[in-house]
Amino acid sequence: MIPTSTTTDPHDLVALPALAVAWWIGEGQSTKRRVQARVPGQREGPRGRSAPGLRTRPVATAMLIVAGLASMATSPATKHSSTGYEETLQLTADRPAAVRHLAFSVTNRDRGVVQIGLRGSLLSEGASDEDLVQEPSKGVLLVLMPDPPTQEFIDDTEPEMFGLGQSLDLTERCRTTCAHEVTAVVRLLSPVPGQVVETTLGIDLFASGQVGEGEVDIDLSLQHHSELAFDGEPSTVTAASEGTIRVSSDRPRDTVSTVIRIPGEVLKKPLAYPLVGRVLIQTATIDASDHPHAHRTDFTVGTDELIGVGGGPPTSRDLLVHCDVGVPCEIPVTIASEYDPTLNSPDFDPADARPGFVELHWSIEVRLEAYDGRDLPSDGIDIVAGD
């Protein structure tokens, strides 16, 4: 694959998601990206869709054009290079999962490189005001699993509202040269018989540099191993727990503590694909005296702390990184919420404030899946109350 280069301003790229988040919070709607025409030179596959392989994504291109125009008027541009893989998948109740295995390598000669990363997305096409739009695929989970397994450069806390399932921060590991493999698992969470969910999987390997024109002096390679692809239904065992949590001016803090238990006989070597273990955590406001987002809610999974993610889309985290082969595994999970009316009212005056509260619904779902045909016991996962 040949890297493609674009010129962008990092301040604009930071500002655009920030504005989108503010709009999403205020309107309570999912983010949609408008595309009115396909980009010239885009490889076309069956039914006019992008074929797997190198591509220029209309959504990403439109965003970069907007950012680039703003850069010309406001601040210097930065160097950027990228290459990517794209494939349109069809998920059904009989085939709710798709797995793609990719190898990537980086050879960097640019001392001014600022960031190197790999990002995955799931987007679906829709119609809005007679225009083509791409929006995050709802009810579909994307997991990027490095091979060999490591939690070192995983950051999968980005909002699913942008269609970003996970990203891998490769800046330090690949600052000079590196070669790794990654497995992308796409999973329909709640299959409905007779329903077909179409989603476009995009994997981007990218690098950004310092202020300047042109490309980053870097070689980026991303290769798909089609012989390792999986399309079907894995062996699956799940467990779930839910409840409510209430924080207020009288009781500003509250915590829910649970423990995920996995028996040792389920944890066979390797603790990596084809075995996948995830926990999905989410909170949503069900009642409030004033603003529904007048709280800060944090999640903790084992030693992994996720700050201020409550109230947004489901947060997905790896479980197996906290376990050892053949040993019973217990993973503490906590949801801690704090009432804070100043988050949405900068001029909040405690002296004149009336009593307030926010009540949240919380849910924890644990999924253990095997993609090699092994059987998983129906009682292979349990969620119990913690201390």
At residue 332, the pLDDT reads: 96
Question: What mean pLDDT is predicted for residues 263-276?
Answer: 90
356 Cβ neighbours under 8 A, 6+ residues apart? 248, 249, 288, 289, 290, 294, 339, 341
Question: What mean pLDDT is predicted for residues 348-356?
Answer: 78
SS3 of 334-346: EEEEEECHHHCCC
At residue 137, the pLDDT reads: 79
What digits encode the pLDDT tens for the residues 274-308?
A: 999 999 999 999 999 888 888 999 999 998 888 77
138 Cβ neighbours under 8 A, 6+ residues apart? 30, 124
Quick one: pLDDT band at residue 151, thresholds 50, 70, 90? low
At residue 126, the pLDDT reads: 62
The secondary element (H helix, E strand) that includes residue 131 is: strand 131-136
What digits encode the pLDDT tens for the residues 182-200?
A: 999 999 988 999 999 999 9
pTM: 0.72
Res. 67: pLDDT tops 70: no
At residue 235, the pLDDT reads: 94
Residue 48 DSSP label: G
Helix (H, G, I), strand (E, B) or coil at 352: helix
More confidently predicted of 15 and 266: 266
Distance CA(356)–CA(353), nearest Å, equals 8
Q: What is the CB-side half-sphere exposure of residue 11 using CA atoms within 13 A?
A: 10
The secondary element (H helix, E strand) that includes residue 18 is: helix 10-27
What digits encode the pLDDT tens for the residues 318-334?
A: 899 899 999 999 999 99
**Contact assessment for residue 24 and residue 155, using Cβ atoms and an 8 Å cutoff:** no
What digits encode the pLDDT tens for the residues 16-33?
A: 333 333 333 333 333 333
What structural domains and CATH numbers belong to the chain?
4-232 (no CATH), 235-385 (2.60.40)
